[in-house]
Chains A and B, each alone.
Chain A
Amino acid sequence: MTDDDQALGDQRWQDAALAAACIAVGGHALGGVRVRSRAGPVRDEWLRALRALYPKDTPWRKVPVGCASARLLGGLDLAATLQGGALVAERGLLAEVHEGVALLAMAERTSAQVIGILCSVLDAGEVTVEREGVRAQYLCRPTLVALDEGVDDEALVETLRDRLAIEIVLDDIGIASVDDFPWSHVVIEDARSCFSSVIIEDQQVAALCRAADAFGLSSPRVSLLAARVARALAALDRRTSVEESDLEVALRLTVIPRATRLPQAPEAEATEEAQQDESPPEDTETNEAEEPEDRPAAAPGEAERLLEAAKAQLPEDLLAQLMAKSVRRGGAKSSGKSGAQQRHKLRGRPMGSVAGDPRRGGRMDVIGTLRAAAPWQRLRPSRAGRSGLAIQSDDFRIVRYRQRSQSVTIFVVDASGSSALYRLAEAKGAVELLLSESYVRRDEVALIAFRGSEAELLLPPTRSLVRAKRALSALPGGGGTPLASALQLTGEMVEQLERRGSTPSYVVFTDGRANVSRDGSKGREVAIEDAQQAARHLRLQSSVSGLVIDTSPRPHRTAEELASALGARYLPLPNADAEKLQMAIRRVAA
């Protein structure tokens, strides 16, 4: 490890320490922190040090991946209810973390349901339970620590990310940089008690808003959270007013990690603002007319100084990250829904009931349970002084549901030079047609494009047509034809989807003329051999149906051979008008 690495690691660790102190001071008001890191000793140390900032009796709970919403919210404790003969509610995990810390393990894989519940808890500071005959409302003001282990396009869902004030990355910190935090829990507690009395000036708020805007963040929530982080920092320093250094650090912890663009040069910024100031949007006028409120315009000088300071703090790879993000567009939004299997327990048409434990997320079949218990009543010793049914846990019946499995059509589009030359536009048109077809059937679509040296996933399975359309129209053409890589990626995706319980099918648009082999080197012969091999592999791997659409100007042998290696249907585009295409896809997907 070089000295530079060490210095960078030290700097990052200091930020991570500040982040920990901030959330310990601000608590629920800050929402929490997103920790991007693989599991490892550095993260463990950080968590240990964070815990030391809290008093010993602070609730500290882990929300495991795949946590059922029943466990999170609580509900009916069936066994206790039946045993006691009176309604017994079970406290959920959330009830236990009021004013404590909730660790969200593998945050990138959290199901949409759980994310929704966590968001509403962070917003409302209380939980409302309406489940299985139980009705409860209790305060719940936890601090959330989202442990995000996502790589590449797997990441915490935006809706939750938006509500967590701070983001830190622990990946580049060597264990040598790890140190104890310079605060004791007594200091933190002091700061905590004066947090609410820290004042942030209107001008400082305005400066933060402007800075957030310059980094392309338009959600007011980000600025609001940055203002609170600044207040927490001031409290940590035992001050009751926010200073400029607080704003700088708040910007570094809250705003910069989410930046979607780099600040523009000051001149451009100034003219843009001037325009905005000259033409206030009409819809605010009615509001102001009612009660004129003087809005303090931020002293532009302050905002600019802050931006300058922020720019100096920019991590070097930010631009590269931003570039990568804009190239990969939809990918970053993959929500890693892992709840598909679980959903089967709750969705679809009921199809009878089976023995099972309702606490695992299934739906209780009350009549079925009673019926199962009935024949045994005379054999079971009745407890003294209690009438009623004796029901044991193995009598429990849960309803089974049948869900039509989600079909997903994967479009694999050849955007290489040879294809682009002839018919990329036509292929795009065809894909669009098929997309609207999928939309009507409420199927999901995914989009893989290949050109240059490698195939890439443009769009993970989605039902959002707008996103699909956008990804497609942004697709440039040109470059080599890495067909093998595309087929490999398709294979991986098929496997993933089947594991999730969906029914995938794929449509490849190509002329079949591969010229980039799997390792990324050029050469037609090796490339075609690689593609053939990948195709055979895909065929062996699963029995999904596929379709190869030949986009070459005249039907060509290579594409046909590819289709036969894949065991897929073959359709040359020249003969395929739109309607024929649709028919073919329908047959494949059915």
Chain B
Amino acid sequence: MAKAFPFTAIVGQDEMKRSLLIAAVDPSIGGVLVFGDRGTGKSTAIRSLAALMPKVPMVDGCAFNIDPAQAQDCPCERCQSPTAQPKPRMAPIPVVDLPLGVTEDRVIGALDLQRALKDGEKAFEPGLLARAHRGFLYIDEVNLLEDHIVDSLLDVAASGENVVEREGMSVRHPARFVLVGSGNPEEGELRPQLLDRFGLSVEVRTPQAIADRVEIVQQRDAFERDPAAFAKRQQRKEGRIRSQLKAARENVDSVDVPMNVVERAAALCMELGTDGLRGELTLVRAMRANAALAGREAAGLADLKMLAPSVLRHRLRRDPLDESGSNARIERAMLAVLDD
């Protein structure tokens, strides 16, 4: 497998990097959508995430990434074996790529053809959803994904469980994953149901300062000339982020969000007229994760200001003809609500 460009060597794009880390701290925030210009390192950033992931316990020999504490939910022979206790092993949180041209059977899992043909045995071969359980599922060019695959993803993402009823098989297994999608808005719009699944959305732009572009080209050039040495130089920085992430995952539940901050968050959502309560809820969770990443015990108004655009951008009821864009609307609302 080709070496991925290190996360810490990506120039700029702080909102994207921050959002990905926040989603890694608290998966219940619900995924990240990265939309933007060509050549801004969207896929690079997401693929580089894998190297930062802390390890979590999983059942050894189980293809469903099951937590040993929840082995009873797993359909595999290993976890259901009446004799052997499931053995735990530590493995990094998975980052699974949904390749283009993927077929439905490989996404949700299907009859294991090899075993069916060879031994006449009816066995279930887990798909990418099983492999992404407790980790990330990355879809590049998310707006090019075929409709029927989107349908099965949405259903599973909503229920946290993959139910397969096909080819005479009936299997269910837990599948909770953080959906990460990237794409170019010029290729087409996303279905609202899919848009709704993402907790955070990020718009990436080409860096405007020439100095940044120069640095991007130089970093990339250095990386390609000697990937191993380049990765080594970033090792310490990556290690720092990894331990930051690990600590944040442990502490996130104890981070306090003061009442006045929650009130402001609610007021902001009200001002923007977002549907339902999901905006507020995600905003509070994201603030908490952000504070945990910074090693703070409480979230503040600064977190709110920093995160409101990513959390609310794709939740505004869209006036399809209003070109002023979501960003401007959020900024206006923040001025109205926060700076009084």
Contacts and interface: CB of A to CB of B under 8 A. Distances in A.
A219 interface: yes
A221 B11 contact: no
Contact of A209 (B12, B140, B214): B214
Contact of B147 (A281, A347, A440): A347
A463 B189 CA distance: 7
Contacts of B207: 220, 281
B125 interface: yes
Contacts of A202: 214, 218
Interface in B287-340: 320-321, 323
A439 B148 CA distance: 21
Nearest to B47: A124
Q: Interface of chain A, helix or strand or loop or mixed? A: helix
Nearest to B14: A283
Interface string A348-382: 10000000000000010011000000000000000
Interface stretch (B65-73, B76-84, B95-103, B259-267): B95-103
A126 B2 contact: yes
Contacts of B185: 464, 466
Interface string A430-445: 0010011001100000
B217 A205 contact: yes
Contacts of B167: 366-367
Nearest to B98: A130
Contact of B120 (A158, A273, A348, A388): A388
A139 B3 CA distance: 12
A69 B101 CA distance: 6
A87 B187 CA distance: 36
Contacts of A137: 1
Nearest to B189: A463
B114 A287 contact: no
A205 B112 contact: no
Nearest to A75: B103
Contacts of B188: 463-464
B242 to A, nearest CB: 15
Contacts of A283: 12, 14-15
Nearest to B128: A130
A184 interface: no
A221 B144 contact: no
A116 B43 contact: no
Given A76-B113, A124-B2, A128-B97, A206 B210 contact: yes
Nearest to B240: A290
Given A116-B141, A209-B210, A347-B146, A220 B39 contact: yes
A86 B106 contact: no
B120 to A, nearest CB: 7
A392 interface: no
B55 interface: no
B211 A224 contact: no
A57 to B, nearest CB: 24
Nearest to B44: A123
A73 B147 contact: no
Interface string B132-170: 000000001100101110000000000000000001100
Contact of A284 (B12, B102, B113, B220): B12
Contact of A276 (B98, B103, B117, B210): B210
A264 interface: no
Given A29-B224, A113-B100, A117-B101, A435 B38 contact: no
Contacts of B184: 159
Interface stretch (A291-299, A405-413, A545-553, A556-564): A291-299
Given A81-B117, A227-B221, A347-B147, A219 B37 contact: yes
A120 interface: yes
A223 interface: yes
A366 B209 CA distance: 56
A133 B114 contact: yes
Interface string A67-95: 00110110110000110011100000000
Contacts of B117: 81-82, 85-87, 388
A162 interface: yes
A174 B27 CA distance: 62
Given A221-B38, A276-B209, A205 B221 contact: yes
Interface residues of A, number: 89
Contacts of B11: 284, 287
Contact of B113 (A117, A124, A133, A223): A133
A502 B214 CA distance: 46
B39 A162 contact: yes
A218 interface: yes
Nearest to A82: B117
Interface string B211-228: 111111110110011000
B105 interface: yes
Contacts of B39: 162, 219-222
A60 B5 CA distance: 30
A133 B2 CA distance: 24
Given A81-B117, A133-B114, A72 B101 contact: yes
Nearest to A158: B38
B323 A220 contact: no
Contacts of B216: 220, 224
B101 A280 contact: no
Interface of A: 29, 69-70, 72-73, 75-76, 81-82, 85-87, 112-113, 116-117, 119-120, 123-133, 135, 137, 139, 158-159, 162, 196, 200, 202, 205-206, 208-210, 213, 218-224, 227-228, 273, 276-277, 280-281, 283-284, 286-287, 290-291, 293, 295-298, 333, 346-348, 363, 366-367, 388, 432, 435-436, 439-440, 463-467, 469-470
Interface of B: 1-2, 11-12, 14-15, 37-40, 43, 97-103, 105-107, 110-114, 117-118, 120, 125, 127-128, 140-141, 144, 146-148, 167-168, 184-189, 206-218, 220-221, 224-225, 237, 320-321, 323
Given A81-B117, A287-B12, A347-B147, 6 more contacts: A130-B102, A132-B113, A133-B105, A224-B221, A333-B186, A388-B117
Give the 10 A-B CB pairs with smallest separation, nearest first.
A221-B39, A130-B106, A219-B39, A69-B101, A133-B113, A87-B114, A128-B99, A218-B206, A220-B216, A206-B214
5 contacts: A87-B113, A123-B43, A220-B220, A280-B209, A293-B215
